[in-house]
Amino acid sequence: MARYFHEISSGIPLIGHIAFGIVDRGTNLLQVRPSSFCPLSCIFCSVNAGPKSTNRQTEFVVDAEYLVEWFKHVTRVKELEKAHAYIDAVGDPLTYRDIVKLVRLLRESGLAETIAIETHGALLNRRLVDQLDEAGLDRINLSVDSLDPELAKRLSDTPWLDVKRIVDVAEYIASSTKIDLLVAPVWVPGINDHEIPKIIEWALRIGAGKRVPPLGVQKYEAHKYGRRPPGVKPLSWSEFYRELSKWEEQFGVRLKLSPRDFGIRKAKQFPIAFQVGERTSVEVVYWGWLRGQWLGVARDRVVSIVGVLGEPPIGRKVKVRILRNKDNIYVGRIVL
């Protein structure tokens, strides 16, 4: 588990980090990340989240008003009339105590074309769903990876997970609210293969996908810092799509999706502040997200300073060489 907690309400820019703030990948969709916490420790987690995390040093939470200010700012700089607001996390956004307030503020901004939340549903309940519906949420992308209670606990590595309750809430969303439901299981080959057809059948039966496709099956990938279930080898993309084609024919539903299905298109990118290889001065402001990192700020961007030891010299400026700038997410290493 992380050793530190940091709440951001001002001073730290909300562009530049993967774990909090706004992530712009050059489209009309902006990822809105209010919290890095997760209640689960899924055995396939790409970011090693949750109570059993082995590499996290700090968990972050962002003030709702401050986050929406940055959503507005990025939308305007990108010269968009409106942007899709996709609330996700390197964890689960429902850990965010002000999630209803965040949805309401995004809706009231007038700049959110749609508002969606990605979650595994462990913290969902009917009361929260009703509040999100009233606040203006358009869609929930719900990752149900197994309908079998014991397998669901194994996949999440969380003995208290109650998939039957999640199923009940999902059916309530589909039948009794304006919120659209997209069921998005993660297919972990060799572990939940037999569950994916059951999940597809269930999603279709309960009426998921009022306005968007009802299902979005996710392919398990082995990530450098993620968890890797023993003996599990990721499918190739050709193998993955071949199975999706079979299920499409079996169930009469489209499973091979594209950004167009959600109204996502390429758009002007928020300006890149640093070039890879560039040397620059960065002010250290806090512990970094992962072990061996500090959090730095420069040119109205956040920079993760990697390969460091010990306590961060908060307030001090250090020279770094930029190692990464893709999608306005910056990583740098200290140089002498």
- 15, 298 contact by CB (below 8 A): no
Phi, psi of 225 (to 5 degrees): -105, 5
Q: Give the model's pLDDT for residue 3.
A: 84
How far apart, in whole angstroms, are the C-alpha atoms of residue 91 and residue 87? 11
Q: What is the CATH number of the domain that holds 64?
A: 3.20.20.70
Instruction: Reply yes or no on whether the pLDDT at 261 is more than 80.
Output: yes
Do the domain assignments include residue 274? no
Residue where a domain stops, chosen among 227, 262, 297: 262
Tens of pLDDT, residues 70-106: 999 999 999 999 999 999 999 999 999 999 999 999 9
Q: Are 157 and 40 in contact (CB under 8 A)?
A: yes
What is the model's pLDDT at position 224? 84
Please determine, for residue 175, whether its predicted confidence score (pLDDT) is greater than 90: yes
In a domain, 270, yes or no: no
With cut-offs at 50, 70 and 90, classify the pLDDT of residue 336. Answer: confident
Tokens 């050709």 correspond to what residue?
238
What does the pLDDT read at residue 21? 98
State how many domains the chain has: 2
pTM of the model: 0.96
Mean pLDDT, residues 229-253 = 96
User: Looking at residue 138, what is its pLDDT?
Assistant: 98
184 shares a domain with 60: yes
At 21-49, the pLDDT tens digits run: 999 999 999 999 999 999 999 999 999 99
Locate tokens 């992308």: which residue? 141
The CATH number for 287's domain is 2.40.50.140
- Identify whether residues 224 and 319 lie together within a single domain: no
pLDDT at 165 over 90: yes
Compute the distance between CA of residue 112 and CA of residue 71 in angstroms, rounded to an integer: 9
Share of the chain above pLDDT 70, in %: 100
Q: Are 287 and 57 in contact (CB under 8 A)?
A: yes
The token pair at 60 is 């972050």
Report pLDDT for 225: 83
Please report the pLDDT score of residue 295 as a whole number. Answer: 98
CA distances from 239 to 234, 243, 292 (A): 10, 6, 37
Q: Report pLDDT digits (tens) over 180-202.
A: 999 999 999 999 999 999 999 99
Confidence of residue 2 (pLDDT cuts 50, 70, 90): confident
The tens digit of pLDDT for each residue in 110-153 reads: 999 999 999 999 999 999 999 999 999 999 999 999 999 999 99
One domain, residues 165 and 249? yes
How many Å apart are CA 32 and CA 35, to the nearest integer? 9
Rounded average pLDDT over 226-230: 93
What pLDDT, on the 0 to 100 scale, is given for residue 91? Answer: 96
> What whole-number distance in Å separates Cα of residue 97 and Cα of residue 61?
9
Same domain flag for 226 and 321: no
Q: Compute the half-sphere exposure of residue 293: CA atoms within 13 Å on the CB side of its CA.
A: 24
- 99-117 core/surface letters (b: 16 or more CB in 10 A; e: else): bbbbbbbbbebebbebbbb
272 lies in some domain: no
Q: Chain-wide mean pLDDT for the chain?
A: 97
Question: Is residue 175 one of the residues assigned to a domain?
Answer: yes
Q: Which domain holds residue 14?
A: 4-262
